[in-house]
Amino acid sequence: MSKIGYIRVSTEHQETARQQEIMCDYQVDRIFSEKISVSTQNALQFAKDRPPLRASPNYVREGDTLYVESISRLGRSTKDLLNIIDTLTEKGV
């Protein structure tokens, strides 16, 4: 069983250090991280094109735990969040 961390910040200018520190506290085995600048115009594309987030369910196996600093870091909308949760639940995470 592995501990997988997911880190996201919303702009190129934001730092991931605080979230990385939290992942260190959780002693995660692997971190998926991304810096994405999202505007209202490209929010739909953002939901589709998040390679680190899309890669994490392929890496996560049954019995693993996925750690995020907060639920807002995982999904930008309720629909996006539910799709991510469904994908992970299907894998037994």
Question: What residues act catalytically?
Answer: 10
Q: Can you read off the two tokens belonging to residue 78?
A: 């309720």
CA dist 58 and 48 (Å) reads: 15
Which of 16, 20, 22, 30 lies closest to 58, judged by CA? Answer: 30
Rg (CA), the chain: 13
